[in-house]
């Protein structure tokens, strides 16, 4: 709780100061910038070329210099017949190369399909390769071991992880894509996934220790399959209303704190007033995930978990260059009827946690998110308040009066300042923790499906790696690609869990654009729990400090050809465990190797 | 935050110091209170139109009253509900008794007593457990229903406190029994072992366990395979009414105690569902003889009158502070057992090994004392897993035996749950037994005392030597004779209905039955070697006459040459918490620990022996690492030897404290 008070005060002052003062912009013309639209996770959408047409022939100088001259009659000898404007360059002798995404390419929706004038196809192919050595706390299997001499609870934590995704995204569009949003779009994005994990202990990768220390798995996930319909334009500047139905990417906020995923839903969206306002009204019903790839698994029954979302983006609020977004999201989870085990035979629902009884919950999130610039600085903020009811608290132990009220909050802010080729970032985040596991209130903040791009994102150890709460149940202290200490069975399959210790992150980071193709980023984050009383009860351990420790990381991003189509990244992170972490874990059998690390080598090739 | 941390450490240190100094107050039930408890239960049973048998015991298992309501008498059907037929352990054992002409056996009174003893024995001032708690932690998965999860931490504990135990004392109603039990006071045996059938609760006064209540009304002695629902179990509700006024503090109930992040079950209903008002209950005198009677149970209770409970901590209970000074300065008050004689005499003070003799490398009195001292010191320094408040010390019983299972010493921290007394001895003997080079041969000489034909079969027709064959099929033909050191955890790995433990689809461990016929009433070797004793005892208590009681030793083996003591005189135990004792590469005994989490039990035995070995410098210690069972590859991987707990010590951040030892 000490963390919350101290860091909260600092962050509030910084945020308020940044929002209050930016005199340099006063009185200048208001330039309306587009709000950063929710970014698809896996597929980079290519926006068709919007180049101004140039008239080839200028009139002779008119008498009145301000008057535009009449069009020149084309001379018959100079007239070259072309089928349409798209194929102009063919007639100029430019050869089309289907493998070249950088020049006009029918596969990239630069030109309509042959025989049509407004049907386009857009193909994207992305190869994503990850090699990830890491050391994370790893339990020794209680029922059998890899090797003799393992007398304790914590085993050898060294692990290797390999991932190869091949993303193929195919869109069919109808519409005059160069000038306005397409009228219709069908898109399907299958992802072919291969993962390999190597660990040093048994029963970590699969529940059966007989399955050993290595797991190879393949999966075909459908990450996008939607129909997008442009209902109407509502202004001459193409403000519009559209709907999109099917598996689609969606993010509730700028940084993926509450929900960022590709899920099945129906969404009505559009804008008004020259894009000054943008809105989304959506309903999503979540698909089950594949355990090892995290991709959608259409072979499983759809989950009994749905959410309704409405949000509104307002540009230039409260000041020029800053976008504010207001959100209301209601999540209804009805997964209280049967046990669900993942592909590796570990229980996911209900979590192996507390009394392990089935339960369901309703929770509403009220959110404010902001992103933009304030004077010379950039600022991102996010605030959520969660309230609702859990029909059965797994911790409070009540038999009759066993429901609990959910009351939790989340706040994050990341100001940054650019100095020439150097950016300095500050990160602050707090998710409230539950203060009394036995009362009728659940005060730990839990998200639907977080994917935070914050404080270093997956460069950071804490955010990148999932850490099992060894000795405290079949739950993760923190999820892979998550910043919250949610204590849920997994982000992919598990229910939200509002009985958790919360998290307080304070960090400072830098981005150095060393050359146009080379960026170096560093992150120094300090992590602490908000309140460890739930952890203490789960482990029957009275002494658990709040301080998790320091998470230090650095990443090099290299774009050898100056383009986004080939991006290579190498990052390394280490967690220097603080007293709270040491109260919970040992990272290896011997007590010496305390430092945990996460190395990420990532290559992304995009067509 | 730093300041908070310092305060936190200081508070923890105070708690720790406070705990070390603490001793629980001596409390006991009066006859009036026993009557009140019975009367409250009877009122609830009447309100629900059921005829119940109510048993009340004190903390150490003395039966204080068995009240049979009119119409409550009857046969107790034993079934797990899995549809397993007679001759599989205790499943449908009432049919076997019918075939023997003992119609009505076992009686419901035995079920009620077993439940009451379970409520009392599993509880302490730091934890209040019930038969529902027992149900949750003895099944093939923990939690029951969580497929693939390993078995319950106390898997097999139901077959402890056995009527044939040489440690557990027989009720004074029959005088001092023959055999090796040299006491009238102390932990009493239970006719059916511990119970997992809801309807047994602990009784408390001022936060101290003073006994247990057990209700049998439906005539079925069973388990509950589903713990995720919320039962309205009439036996449990009647017990709840009886417990009124004698409840444990809320904060120590099982539902606030977490093992592997899972909270334990206490009860499934609370007092709001009572149909009666305990405060308005009529006096016991007004119901005795009209709504039922106090009935005698041979070997347990004389009937006719209520009995006052003994106060745990007073030597009349059989447990009191060590009078000999053997365990001074180990970090807290140490209790030992007393025999109940006048003047009272402590039992199981450290003594020399019998087999082997001290001349042949057996443990000396001083070595036994040091092993127990070191183990208790580890316990007092360690974080309890099953006790509240948080940061409580481990509370356990420590038993040391020689290579043949002779008791060399028993002592306990002052508030260890009683069940651990018998169980720690079972564990010590089990480790010493399976680590011996004659274990296989010995099991082959099983000799049924109740007409198994041939005599190598028990009365259910199970041939004990087949377990030796089975284990050799898994571990190789030298198993049980090659001198491999088996901790109880290692043997336990082989005693589960799945190997590896919990993994559905895998075959059974060689000491277990396959899952189709396995149940908590049919575990395998553990029960099969004592089944004859339990059956004999039931005939004795229910029928009597020519049916003599079982001897004060479990099982019989011709290898013992007719001596009454066997190497496993109170039965095998198959959940973790013991290691064999070695001297210079030879097994000379075992140390067993029971009463806290199984990882704590493991650590107290393993580290205690390790520390004692260093202190002694006489070659005594743990098995050489190369000889331990974790060298053995079984299906799924190597067997486990011990599993020391996370964050084991109070006031320290050390982890992996057993590594390399």
Tokens of A151: 């007398």
**Chain A residues touching residue B647 (CB < 8 angstroms):** 471, 539, 541, 543, 583-584
At residue B181, the pLDDT reads 67
A318: preceding bond cis by omega (within 30 degrees): yes
Q: How far is B464 from chain A (nearest CA, A)?
A: 25
**Residue ranges, chain B, pLDDT below 70:** 1-22, 172-181, 452
- B506 touching A, CB under 8 A? yes
Is B262 in Cβ contact with A152 (below 8 Å)? no
Q: B343-354 in b/e burial notation, b at 16+ Cβ within 10 A?
A: ebebbbbbbbbb
Question: Which residues between 572 and 601 in chain A have a beta carbon less than 8 angstroms from any beta carbon of chain B?
Answer: 579, 582-586, 589-591
- Which residue of A1, A2, A142 to mutate against B (max B Cβ within 10 Å)? A142
Q: In this structure, how many other beta carbons lie within 10 angstroms of the beta carbon of residue B289?
A: 9
- B85 touching A, CB under 8 A? no
Q: How far is B387 from chain A (nearest CA, A)?
A: 8
Question: Which residues between 430 and 449 in chain A have a beta carbon less than 8 angstroms from any beta carbon of chain B?
Answer: 438
- Give φ, ψ of B67 to 5 degrees: -110, 120
Using DSSP bridges, classify how beta strands B578-583 and B620-621 pair: parallel, antiparallel or unpaired.
Answer: antiparallel
At residue B211, the pLDDT reads 98
Which of A37-51, A270-284, A590-604, B490-504 shows the lowest per-residue confidence on average (mean pLDDT)? A37-51
At residue A104, the pLDDT reads 80
**Chain A residues touching residue B640 (CB < 8 angstroms):** 142-145, 150
Is A538 in Cβ contact with B258 (below 8 Å)? yes
The span from the CA of A68 to the CA of A432, in Å, is 65
Per the listing, tokens 């072979």 go with A299
Q: How far is B493 from chain A (nearest CA, A)?
A: 7
- B230 touching A, CB under 8 A? yes
At residue B341, the pLDDT reads 86
Residue of chain B nearest A546, judged by CA positions: B1
Nearest to B5 among A207, A438, A579 (CB): A579
- A527 touching B, CB under 8 A? no
At residue A57, the pLDDT reads 42
At residue B15, the pLDDT reads 41
Which of A89-93, A364-368, B328-332 shows the lowest per-residue confidence on average (mean pLDDT)? A89-93
* B234-243 helix and B108-121 helix, angle to the nearest 10 degrees: 60
Q: Using an 8 Å Cβ cutoff, are A348 and A358 in contact?
A: no
In sign, the C-alpha dihedral spanning B460, B464, B466, B471 is positive
3-state secondary structure B458-513: CCCCCECHHHHHHHHHHHCCCCCCCCCECCHHHHHHCCCCCCCCCCCCCCCCCCEC
Tally A–B CB contacts below 8 A.
234
More confident call, B647 vs A111: B647
At A117, is the pLDDT very low, low, confident or very high (cuts 50, 70, 90)? confident
At residue A88, the pLDDT reads 66
Q: Identify each DSSP E strand in B37-195 by its residue range.
A: 53-58, 63-69, 77-78
At A111, is the pLDDT very low, low, confident or very high (cuts 50, 70, 90)? confident
**Chain A residues touching residue B224 (CB < 8 angstroms):** none
At residue B173, the pLDDT reads 59
Question: Which residues between 201 and 230 in chain A have a beta carbon less than 8 angstroms from any beta carbon of chain B?
Answer: 202-203, 207-210
Per-residue pLDDT of B168-186, as tens digits, reads: 998 765 544 444 567 889 9
Q: Using an 8 Å Cβ cutoff, are A547 and A578 in contact?
A: yes
- Which residue of B10, B263, B381 to mutate against A (max A Cβ within 10 Å)? B263
Which of A98-112, A320-334, B500-514 shows the lowest per-residue confidence on average (mean pLDDT)? A98-112
Q: How far is A153 from chain B (nearest CA, A)?
A: 6
Please count the residues of chain A.
Answer: 607
At A65, is the pLDDT very low, low, confident or very high (cuts 50, 70, 90)? low
Residue of chain B nearest A341, judged by CA positions: B147
At A89, is the pLDDT very low, low, confident or very high (cuts 50, 70, 90)? low
At residue A61, the pLDDT reads 47
**Chain B residues touching residue A536 (CB < 8 angstroms):** 390
Alpha-helix runs per DSSP H in B563-617:
598-616
Per-residue pLDDT of A39-54, as tens digits, reads: 444 443 444 444 444 4
Is A2 in Cβ contact with B270 (below 8 Å)? no
Secondary structure tally for chain B: helices H, strands E: 15, 19
B362: left (phi over 0), alpha (psi -120 to 50) or beta: beta
- B170 touching A, CB under 8 A? no
- A314 touching B, CB under 8 A? no
Q: How far is A136 from chain B (nearest CA, A)?
A: 15
**Chain B residues touching residue A210 (CB < 8 angstroms):** 500, 503, 506, 635-637
Which of A15-24, A246-255, B230-239, B498-507 shows the lowest per-residue confidence on average (mean pLDDT)? A15-24
Using DSSP bridges, classify how beta strands B208-216 and B200-205 pair: parallel, antiparallel or unpaired.
Answer: antiparallel
DSSP 3-state of B412: strand
Question: Which residues between 2 and 31 in chain A have a beta carbon less than 8 angstroms from any beta carbon of chain B?
Answer: 2-3, 6
Is B631 in Cβ contact with A339 (below 8 Å)? no
Nearest to B637 among A6, A144, A341 (CB): A144
**Chain B residues touching residue A143 (CB < 8 angstroms):** 150, 493, 496, 500-503, 636, 640
Nearest to A145 among B12, B638, B660 (CB): B638
- B639 touching A, CB under 8 A? yes
- Which residue of B127, B231, B260, B484 to mutate against A (max A Cβ within 10 Å)? B260
Is A143 in Cβ contact with B383 (below 8 Å)? no
- Which residue of B3, B224, B502, B646 to mutate against A (max A Cβ within 10 Å)? B646
**Chain A residues touching residue B385 (CB < 8 angstroms):** 540
> Rounded mean pLDDT of A195-202?
96
Is B262 in Cβ contact with A208 (below 8 Å)? no
At residue A112, the pLDDT reads 86
The span from the CA of A531 to the CA of B21, in Å, is 30
The span from the CA of B21 to the CA of B28, in Å, is 22
Residue of chain A nearest B382, judged by CA positions: A541
At A10, is the pLDDT very low, low, confident or very high (cuts 50, 70, 90)? low
- Which residue of B647, B649, B658, B660 to mutate against A (max A Cβ within 10 Å)? B647
């Amino acid at each position: 709780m000490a963390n919350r008070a101290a860091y909260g005060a600092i962050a509030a002052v910084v945020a308020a100061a940044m929002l209050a003062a930016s005199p340099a912009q006063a009185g200048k013309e208001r330039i309306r910038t587009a709000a950063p639209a929710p970014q698809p996770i896996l597929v980079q959408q290519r926006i068709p070329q919007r180049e101004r047409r140039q008239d080839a022939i200028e009139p002779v100088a008119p008498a009145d210099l301000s008057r535009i001259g009449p069009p020149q009659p084309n001379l018959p000898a100079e007239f070259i017949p072309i089928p349409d404007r798209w194929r102009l360059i063919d007639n100029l002798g430019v050869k089309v190369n289907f493998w070249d995404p950088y020049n006009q390419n029918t596969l990239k929706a630069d030109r309509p399909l042959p025989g049509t004038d407004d049907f386009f196809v857009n193909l994207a192919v992305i190869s994503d390769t990850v090699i990830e050595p890491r050391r994370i706390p790893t339990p020794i299997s209680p029922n059998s071991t890899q090797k003799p001499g393992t007398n304790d609870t914590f085993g050898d934590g060294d692990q290797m992880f390999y991932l190869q995704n091949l993303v193929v995204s195919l869109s069919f569009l109808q519409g005059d894509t160069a000038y306005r949003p397409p009228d219709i779009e069908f898109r399907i994005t299958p992802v072919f996934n291969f993962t390999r994990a190597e660990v040093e202990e048994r029963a970590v990768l699969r529940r059966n220790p007989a399955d050993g220390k290595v797991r190879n798995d393949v999966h075909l996930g459908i990450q996008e399959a939607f129909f997008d319909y442009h209902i109407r334009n509502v202004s001459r500047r193409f403000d519009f209303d559209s709907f999109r139905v099917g598996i689609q990417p969606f993010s509730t906020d700028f940084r993926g704190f509450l929900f960022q995923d590709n899920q099945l839903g129906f969404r009505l969206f559009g804008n008004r007033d020259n894009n000054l306002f943008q809105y989304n009204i959506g309903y999503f019903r979540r698909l089950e995930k594949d355990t090892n790839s995290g991709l959608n698994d259409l072979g499983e029954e759809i989950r009994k978990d749905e959410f309704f979302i409405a949000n509104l983006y307002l540009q230039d609020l409260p000041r020029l260059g800053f976008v504010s977004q207001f959100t209301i999201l209601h999540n209804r989870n009805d997964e209280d009827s049967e046990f669900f085990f993942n592909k590796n035979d570990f229980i996911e629902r209900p979590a192996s946690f507390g009394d392990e009884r089935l339960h369901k919950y309703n929770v509403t999130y009220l959110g404010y998110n902001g992103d933009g610039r304030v004077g010379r600085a950039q600022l991102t903020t996010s605030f959520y308040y969660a309230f609702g009811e859990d029909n059965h608290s797994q911790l409070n132990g009540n038999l009759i009066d066993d429901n609990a009220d959910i009351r939790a909050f989340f706040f994050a802010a990341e100001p940054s300042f650019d100095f020439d080729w150097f950016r300095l970032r500050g990160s602050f985040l707090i998710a409230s923790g539950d203060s009394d596991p036995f009362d009728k209130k659940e005060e730990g903040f839990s998200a639907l499906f977080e994917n935070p791009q914050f404080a270093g994102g997956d460069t950071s150890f804490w955010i990148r790696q999932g850490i099992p709460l060894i000795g405290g149940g079949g739950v993760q202290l923190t999820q892979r690609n998550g910043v919250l200490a949610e204590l849920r069975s997994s982000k992919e399959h598990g229910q939200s869990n509002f009985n958790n210790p919360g998290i307080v992150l304070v960090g400072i980071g830098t981005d150095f654009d060393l050359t146009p193709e080379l960026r170096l980023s560093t992150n120094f984050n300090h992590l602490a729990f908000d309140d460890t009383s739930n952890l203490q009860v789960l482990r029957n351990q009275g002494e658990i400090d709040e301080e998790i420790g320091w998470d230090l990381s650095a990443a090099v991003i290299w774009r050898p050809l100056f383009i986004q189509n080939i991006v290579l990244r190498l990052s390394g992170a280490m967690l220097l465990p603080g007293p709270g972490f040491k109260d919970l874990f040992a990272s290896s059998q011997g007590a010496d190797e305390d430092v945990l690390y996460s190395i990420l080598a990532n290559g992304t090739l995009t067509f | 935050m730093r300041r908070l941390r310092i305060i936190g450490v200081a508070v923890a240190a105070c708690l720790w110091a406070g705990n070390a100094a603490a001793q629980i107050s001596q409390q006991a039930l009066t006859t009036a209170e026993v009557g009140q408890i019975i009367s409250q239960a009877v009122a609830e049973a009447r309100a629900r139109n059921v005829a119940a048998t109510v048993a009340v015991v004190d903390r150490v298992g003395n039966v204080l009253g068995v009240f049979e309501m009119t119409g409550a008498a009857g046969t107790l059907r034993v079934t797990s509900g899995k549809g397993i037929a007679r001759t599989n352990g205790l499943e449908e054992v009432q049919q076997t008794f019918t075939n023997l002409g003992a119609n009505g056996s076992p009686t419901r009174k035995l079920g009620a007593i077993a439940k009451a003893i379970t409520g009392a024995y599993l509880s302490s001032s730091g934890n209040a457990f019930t038969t529902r708690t027992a149900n949750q932690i003895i099944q093939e998965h923990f939690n029951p229903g969580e497929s693939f999860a390993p078995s319950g931490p106390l898997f097999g504990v139901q077959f402890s406190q056995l009527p044939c135990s040489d440690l557990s004392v027989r009720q004074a109603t029959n005088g001092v029994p023959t055999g090796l039990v040299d006491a009238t006071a102390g932990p009493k045996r239970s006719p059916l072992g511990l119970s997992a059938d809801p309807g047994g609760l602990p009784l408390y006064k001022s936060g101290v366990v003073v006994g247990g209540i057990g209700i049998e009304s439906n005539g079925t002695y069973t388990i509950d395979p589903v713990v995720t629902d919320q039962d309205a179990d009439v036996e449990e509700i009647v017990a709840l009414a009886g417990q009124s006024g004698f409840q444990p503090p809320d904060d120590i109930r099982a539902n606030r105690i977490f093992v592997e992040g899972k909270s334990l079950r206490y009860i499934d209903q609370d007092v709001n569902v009572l149909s009666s008002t305990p405060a308005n209950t009529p006096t016991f005198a007004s119901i005795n003889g009209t709504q039922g009677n106090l009935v005698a149970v041979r070997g347990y209770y004389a009937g006719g009158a209520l009995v006052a409970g003994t106060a745990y901590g007073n030597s009349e209970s059989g447990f009191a502070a060590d009078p000999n000074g053997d365990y001074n300065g180990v970090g807290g008050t140490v209790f030992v057992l007393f025999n109940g004689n006048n003047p009272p005499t402590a039992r199981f003070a450290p003594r020399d090994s019998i087999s082997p003799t001290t001349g042949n490398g057996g443990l000396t009195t001083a070595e036994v004392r040091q092993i127990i001292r070191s183990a208790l010191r580890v316990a007092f320094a360690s974080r309890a897993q099953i006790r509240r408040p948080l940061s409580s010390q481990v509370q356990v019983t420590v038993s040391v035996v020689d290579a043949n299972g002779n008791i060399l010493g028993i002592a306990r921290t002052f508030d260890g749950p009683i069940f651990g007394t018998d169980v720690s001895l079972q564990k010590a003997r089990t480790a010493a037994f399976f680590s011996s080079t004659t274990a296989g041969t010995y099991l082959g000489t099983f000799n049924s005392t109740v007409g198994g034909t041939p005599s190598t079969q028990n009365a259910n027709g199970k041939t004990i030597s087949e377990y030796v064959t089975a284990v050799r099929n898994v571990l190789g033909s030298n198993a049980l004779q090659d001198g491999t050191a088996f901790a109880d955890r290692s043997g336990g790995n082989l005693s589960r209905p799945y190997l590896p433990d919990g993994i559905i689809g895998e075959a059974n461990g060689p000491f277990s039955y396959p899952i189709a016929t396995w149940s908590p009433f049919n575990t395998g070797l553990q029960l099969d070697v004592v089944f004859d004793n339990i059956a004999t005892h039931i005939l004795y208590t229910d029928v009597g006459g020519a049916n003599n009681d079982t001897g004060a030793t479990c099982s019989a083996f011709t290898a013992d040459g007719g001596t009454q003591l066997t190497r496993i005189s109170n039965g095998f135990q198959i959940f973790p918490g013991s290691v064999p004792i070695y001297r210079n590469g030879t097994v000379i005994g075992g140390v067993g620990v029971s009463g806290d989490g199984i990882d704590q039990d493991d650590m107290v035995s393993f580290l205690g022996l390790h520390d004692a070995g260093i202190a002694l410098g006489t070659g005594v210690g743990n098995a050489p690492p190369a000889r331990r069972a974790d060298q053995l590859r079984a299906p799924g991987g190597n067997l486990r030897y011990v599993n020391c707990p996370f964050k084991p010590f109070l006031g320290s951040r050390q982890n992996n404290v057993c590594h390399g030892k």
